[in-house]
Structure 1
Amino acid sequence: MLRHIRISVRSTRGMVDATSLLLGLEGLEVRGVSRQVDRVRVVDVVTADPDAARCPDCRMISTSVKDHTVTRPRDIRYGDDPIMLRWNKTRYRCGNLECARATFTESIPQVPPRRRTTTRLRTQIGRDVGEAARSVVEVAAGSGVSWPTAHAAFVEHADQVLGAPQPVQVLGIDETRRGKPRWVRDSDGRRWVRVDPWDTGFVDLGGDQGLLGQVEGRTSKAVTDWLSAQSQEFRDQISHVVIDPSAAYAAAVTDTLPDAQVVVDHFHLVKLANDTVTAVRRRVSFDAHGRRGRKQDPEWANRRRLLSARQRLSHRPFAKMWNALIDNDPTGQILTAYIAKEELRQLLSAARDGADDAEIGYRLYRFYTWCADADIPEITRLATTIETWWPAILAFLRTGLTNARTEGYNRLVKQVKRVACGFRNTENSRRRIRFHCTRAQRASIQHFHC
């Protein structure tokens, strides 16, 4: 049997109240504290809440004691040494003859019936798992509970915090990879099929609700199903939807939200222009040398400068790149693609410059004219893409809306997945991700109430 080292607790009422206040569990009163040889501090508590003697069904206070029992609910840690609560509880008989419950045991809000953990411990576990994006295994080990207990505590805490999305004005839609691609057999079992798992996220870009939800896949049907599941008020409130140049997303938004304006994120348009420059550079290099580019080739040595914005290059590196390509690319296609990319960047910068429609039309004319005169397949394809998405691009130039916040939440999504080492249950994955991506909203609400 373990030896107990008794710590003196004065029997005065003030010292007992002070110790109970230090413990901080409302409804419980500390009667004594002892320390075992393994440095575990045992805190003996009794019930101090008069409502604990009420029957859970009929709410009548009982004075008929049946027997006593002792439970040991787990609580938060205090310092390095663990603490064990020893709660001396009373079991009552219900005095109401019409009540179906014969007996009941004392319970308080901090320790509900049939709970082996305190409410504040479960709340702390929920915050550690959700807000700090820590793994359930790590939090469970630090709190001295099992994985199912820690996960159930997080689910309970998340369900209390997370609710249905509120109406938004600006909605952001983007995809993120859920896992590694894998190969599986098709329905007939005859051939292998590549499965590339993706999730589509919906973000409040005009408010502070963060990530509103996720669905599996990045198809038009996935977006349509999520939007259809929301209320009519939610759909009517949306005025702009910011997406990547994705035909599937655009079709879903057009069908489900006919009054909403589609806006294309400019970052992906610049990426398309950079990809055009890279494609032209690789083709010209292969035509000239019959191989891929090498470090002695000027077009390969200047590949980073070709992708940089003109205003980010000082005069010397820009002149070095320009002269090298003039001397070594007799076709002039690489610099032509570079100028087309810069013309597109100049067009997109109209949103930052606050240009009017006349200036936007002038910059668009310059871009189209340069692409038409170049007569290069890659540049023509870029101009065709801009023409296809022009209404959505014009909406960006007038509003300046981007998907930058959505991309930021994608980083948080990847962080949660990385910490959890992957998810096998999609419901658990979406709950963890959404909880972690709504921290700013909860922080602002708590600050407002304070």
Structure 2
Amino acid sequence: MILTVPLGTAYTDHLTRPLSTRAIRWAIGQLRREGATIQGLARQLGTTWNTLWSQVRPVLSEAANDPSRFEGVQVLGVDEHLWHHRDPRRRGPKELTGMVDLTRGTHPTARLLDLVPGRSGKAYRDWLDERGDEFRKRVEIATLDPFQGYKNAIDDQLEDATCVLDAFHIVKLGGAAVDDVRRRIQQETLGHRGRKGDPLYGIRHVLRAGRERLSPRQQTRLASAFAAHPDHVAVEVAYQCAQDLRDVFHQPTPARGRRLAEQLIEKLPSCPIPEVARLGKTLRRWRTAFLAYFDTNGASNGGTEAVNGIIELGRCIARGFRNFEHYHLRMLLITGGLDASPHTQL
């Protein structure tokens, strides 16, 4: 006698049964610290993706909605990133604005506070407005990249906070100015883009290195390229200006760094090289946020960039996301944004 069992009942019951609290706690820990995937964990637990996520998701949602996550934030960073590369009409805006807690001491590392759709001052302003007066009054320092939209939101919602322009992006602006000058002079002198054997093309990577790190051979290469044509002096001047800008953040005392920064803000806008003059005007427009670096013990947006790196890694491990809510919860989890909530402790 042969017994037949309807498909989808006895053989699949074990795949859809509720998981124990211990199993959910283990799965959340694996997602948080080990770079695991839902599919991989479901396979180890002998269940399905939907079953595991349907029981992990409520825990993460409850933790994400816990207002205690936002307590104690004194240094707030903001940055943008892309969460997908599909048609925005099908999956919504590509750009997200991320807020990061950079407060030292309360947590061992920077932690993601939230992700909201859009890259605009309005997105950041609305998020700050939703946090309430108590949250905004506790924020003492707000760091950002040179994006005016975020600056407007900080001026509007965080009136008592000190706005600090990120040091890395200031140096990056100097390097970009050198590249722009090099490309322009390359076209003016040779009439084509950089090719192997061209003097300026050959030093394109050396121009991005700090001058104190150059080997004697690299210094010789720079000197030879600068002397190869009279018009190359513009590249040399741009390089020296960019290095002076970099040296601002390597002075022995904040006072000396601030003094050098003020000198550059005054001199660069009048430079006859248009790219350097544009750099100087940008620094002059951001003068207050630039100089605030020296009054805040070197506050920067570095922690925010580190969190962005973890987000990129998480998205890569998951092979991308289709659902923004899932993406939001998973990124909050892996970047420590839910660690402060008792709900994830189970």
Category of TM-score, reference length = shorter chain: 0.7 to 0.9
What is the aligned counterpart of 1:360 among 249, 258, 270? 258
Distance 2:31 2:101 in 1: 23
Q: CA deviation at 1:370?
A: 5.5
Distance 2:261 2:18 in 1: 68
Which stretches of structure 1, 4 residues or longer, exceed 3 Å deviation after superposition?
Answer: 72-75, 159-162, 181-185, 439-443
**Residues 196 and 317 of structure 1: is their aligned pair in 2 closer, same or farther, counting only changes over 3 Å?**
farther
Instruction: Name the residue aligned to 1:55.
Output: none
Instruction: Name the residue aligned to 2:118.
Output: 217
Name the aligned partner's letter for residue 81 of structure 2.
T
Q: CA deviation at 1:397?
A: 2.1
Q: CA deviation at 1:390?
A: 0.8
Verify: 1:437 aligned to 2:327, yes or no.
Answer: no
Q: Could you say which structure has the greater relative contact order, defined with CA pairs below 8 angstroms and 6 or more residues apart?
A: 2
Q: CA deviation at 1:307?
A: 1.1
Distance 2:290 2:157 in 1: 20
Deviations for 1:389-413, whole angstroms, at most 9, x for unmatched residues? 0100111122201111111110111
Q: Which moved more, 1:315-324 or 1:393-402?
A: 315-324
Q: CA deviation at 1:319?
A: 2.6
Q: CA deviation at 1:184?
A: 5.1
Output aligned runs, 1:12-411, within 5 Å: 116-159=18-61, 161-162=63-64, 163-164=66-67, 165-180=70-85, 182=87, 197-206=94-103, 207-208=106-107, 210-350=111-251, 353-356=252-255, 360-366=258-264, 368-369=266-267, 372=270, 374-399=271-296, 400-411=298-309
Name the aligned partner's letter for residue 277 of structure 1.
V
Distance 1:366 1:395 in 2: 15
The answer as to whether partners of 2:173 and 2:279 remain within 8 angstroms in 1 is yes
* Greater Cα radius of gyration, structure 1 or 2: 1
Distance 1:241 1:359 in 2: 20
Output aligned runs, 1:402-421, within 5 Å: 402-421=300-319
Distance 1:231 1:367 in 2: 36
Q: CA deviation at 1:441?
A: 4.7
Distance 2:257 2:45 in 1: 62
Q: CA deviation at 1:261?
A: 1.2
Distance 1:258 1:277 in 2: 35
Name the aligned partner's letter for residue 71 of structure 2.
Q
The answer as to whether partners of 1:210 and 1:438 remain within 8 angstroms in 2 is yes
Distance 1:430 1:440 in 2: 11
The answer as to whether partners of 1:74 and 1:117 remain within 8 angstroms in 2 is no
Q: CA deviation at 1:349?
A: 2.8
Secondary structure, counterpart of 2:254 in structure 1: coil
Deviations for 1:69-116, whole angstroms, at most 9, x for unmatched residues? xxx9969xxxxxxxxxxxxxxxxxxxxxxxxxxxxxxxxxxxxxx963
Gaps of 5+ in 1: 2-71, 76-113, 186-194
Instruction: Name the residue aligned to 1:192.
Output: none
Distance 1:160 1:370 in 2: 52
**Residues 418 and 124 of structure 1: is their aligned pair in 2 closer, same or farther, counting only changes over 3 Å?**
same
Count of residue correspondences: 325
Distance 1:342 1:377 in 2: 17
Name whichever structure is richer in helix by fraction.
2
Distance 2:307 2:315 in 1: 12
The answer as to whether partners of 2:257 and 2:294 remain within 8 angstroms in 1 is no
**Residues 396 and 354 of structure 1: is their aligned pair in 2 closer, same or farther, counting only changes over 3 Å?**
same
The answer as to whether partners of 1:123 and 1:157 remain within 8 angstroms in 2 is no
Distance 1:292 1:344 in 2: 27
Name the aligned partner's letter for residue 237 of structure 1.
R
Distance 2:328 2:294 in 1: 33
Using structure 2 for the length normalisation, give the TM-score: 0.85
**Residues 132 and 198 of structure 1: is their aligned pair in 2 closer, same or farther, counting only changes over 3 Å?**
same
The answer as to whether partners of 1:171 and 1:204 remain within 8 angstroms in 2 is yes
Distance 1:363 1:267 in 2: 14
Q: RMSD over aligned Cα, in angstroms?
A: 2.9
Identical-residue share of aligned pairs (%): 30
Distance 1:221 1:160 in 2: 26
Q: CA deviation at 1:166?
A: 1.3
**Residues 237 and 184 of structure 1: is their aligned pair in 2 closer, same or farther, counting only changes over 3 Å?**
closer
**Residues 348 and 390 of structure 1: is their aligned pair in 2 closer, same or farther, counting only changes over 3 Å?**
farther
Name the aligned partner's letter for residue 310 of structure 1.
R
The answer as to whether partners of 1:200 and 1:218 remain within 8 angstroms in 2 is yes
Secondary structure, counterpart of 1:212 in structure 2: strand
